[in-house]
Amino acid sequence: DIQMTQSPASLSASLGETVTIECLASEDIYSNLAWYQQKPGKSPQLLIYYANSLNDGVPSRFSGSGSGTQYSLKINSLQSEDVSIYFCQQNYDSPYTFGAGTKLELK
């Protein structure tokens, strides 16, 4: 199985700041990497697919990058509504594994 190691586990940042979340795959996943945002009590929502493609309706302050085994999610100009848990997921090979999540809070 492909392991997804996500860091950091938690993150505290101020409004307007830029934050970056990393995801490391245990093998090459050829950019088949998605990022999801999950707000408390809600189901996950797709932010980014194919490592850097922004899903419809997602604000442009979110961006994804990476290739091979290393990927990152960047949030520019942090807003209060961005407080959430963020998960990465590889959809290259079954089982389609998720990272453990990053809890983003406001400082």
Binding mask 15-54 for another protein (x = CB under 8 A): -------------------x-x-----xxxxx--xx--x-
| Residue 3 binding another protein, by CB under 8 A | no
| Residue 104 binding another protein, by CB under 8 A | no
- Type and span of the H or E element at 49: strand 45-49
Q: In which residue are the tokens 């998720």 written?
A: 98
Piece in contact with another protein (CB under 8 A), picked from 10-18, 19-27, 66-74, 84-92: 84-92
Q: How far is CA 4 from CA 26, 34, 35, 92, 98, in A?
A: 6, 11, 12, 12, 6
